[in-house]
Amino acid sequence: MKYVSVLILTFIFTSSCCGIQKPSQTTSKSNIETVTNSGIKSDVIQPSEDNLEKTTETNTVKVSLGEDGTISDDGITVTTEIIYTEAFDHNIFNELLKKNVTTEGNVDYSGFKSDYKKLKTYIDLLKTYQPKDDWTKEDQLAYWINAYNALTIDLILRNYPTKSIKDIKDPWDQRLWQFGDKWQNLNDIEHEILRKMNEPRIHFAIVCASVSCPKLQNTAFTASSLDIQLTNATKEFLADTSKNELLENSIKLSKIFKWFKKDFEQDGDLIDFLNQYSDVEISSSAKKSFKDYNWNLND
């Protein structure tokens, strides 16, 4: 399965009576051919017919390198274009999030209830087309992050209306979704799959439908944008003073940093992690405490 194809466009400039003329760096920008791709490999996902047209537009990401051109010694200008094709099309979930989640992360569960058939279609696709060994780490992370969030929404809708996810019996242990020959629950997805992928920022991407959780993003995670999306989600969470209060010599943190402390100490201590994404430079000797966790529904 190919994820990346490279298109090299080479322009050889015409010669004059004095020989080949080197173009200037500022005039060497090439025209990049427009590429459309279904973004779906034959052995991966076929969304419903209603979404095929949109899939053609959304599931291929173009990244151009050296758009201004790089000029070699022989006067040849080369531009390289990388076409990244997602292993799984998350467009259905993306549309649902845009429609039913605000930019602040407030979730319209009544709206999701009206769109329940569409949500179930997306979950059915997740259950049918699971990650394969040749998927990139980014593709697998995006798949399982979106799966966790979609299944959490599904859990809430199965018990809606409810004031809190904790009012549901064993919310993270219920095996409600059959993925292949395994019945999945939220705990296994988080602890047995996502956490074992050594990406601590997943804790700010997966959402437990509660006020003190990181906000549910109103766009789906994608492999091609994953690093940017995870960084933004982490920075947003740390900057939200209702969840974290960060000063140079004193920090009041979300209990997420207490529950999953080891995950944030892979490349240094917790303060080192925080300083990568915080607007405040926190002292290594800062006093640390944890805020109460609000489990009320994030609606």
Quick one: which H or E segment has residue 233? Answer: helix 226-239
Q: Which residue has the higher pLDDT, 52 or 227?
A: 227
Tell me the chain's radius of gyration from C-alpha atoms: 23
Q: Which residues contact 78 (CB under 8 A, 6 or more apart)?
A: 8, 9, 10, 66, 69, 70, 72
Provide the β-strand partners of residue 216. Answer: none
Q: Is the pLDDT of residue 76 over 70?
A: no
The Cα 286–Cα 258 span in angstroms is 16
Q: Is the pLDDT of residue 75 over 50?
A: yes
Q: Which two tokens stand for residue 148?
A: 């966790």
pLDDT at 148: 98
Confidence at 82, pLDDT banded by 50, 70, 90: low
What number of other Cβ atoms are within 10 A of residue 75's Cβ? 14
Q: Which two tokens stand for residue 235?
A: 């920075």
Segment 62-68 mean pLDDT:
49
Q: Is 204 exposed, middle or buried (0-12, 13-18, 19+ CB in 10 A)?
A: buried
Could you give the percent of the chain with pLDDT greater than 90? 72
Q: Which two tokens stand for residue 128?
A: 């049918």
Q: Is 210 exposed, middle or buried (0-12, 13-18, 19+ CB in 10 A)?
A: middle
Q: DSSP 3-state assignment of 258?
A: helix
- Helices 137-158, 116-128: crossing angle, 10 deg rounding: 140
pTM score of the predicted model: 0.76
Q: Which two tokens stand for residue 204?
A: 């700010």
The Cα 190–Cα 145 span in angstroms is 9
In 3D space, the residue among 135, 140, 99 whose CA is nearest the CA of residue 118 turns out to be 99
What strand order describes the sheet that includes 4-12? 4-12, 76-85, 60-71
Of 66-70, 129-133, 166-170, 293-297, the one with minimum mean pLDDT is: 66-70
Segment 39-68 mean pLDDT:
45
Tens of pLDDT, residues 123-142 = 999 999 999 999 999 999 99
Segment 182-202 mean pLDDT:
98
One-letter-per-residue 3-state SS of 20-78: ECCCCHHHCCCCCCCCCCCCCCCCCCCCCHHHHHHHHHHCEEEEEEEEEEEECCCCEEE
Quick one: which H or E segment has residue 79? Answer: strand 76-85
Confidence at 84, pLDDT banded by 50, 70, 90: confident
**88 contacts 55 by C-beta, under 8 angstroms:** no
In 3D space, the residue among 127, 245, 113 whose CA is nearest the CA of residue 182 turns out to be 127
Q: Would you call the peptide bond into 161 cis, given omega within 30 degrees of 0 as the criterion?
A: yes
The Cα 216–Cα 102 span in angstroms is 9
Confidence at 22, pLDDT banded by 50, 70, 90: very low
Of 24-33, 173-182, 229-238, the one with minimum mean pLDDT is: 24-33
The Cα 13–Cα 147 span in angstroms is 50
Could you give the percent of the chain with pLDDT greater than 70? 72
Strands (E), 60-208: 60-71, 76-85, 177-179, 182-184
pLDDT at 258: 98
Confidence at 7, pLDDT banded by 50, 70, 90: very low
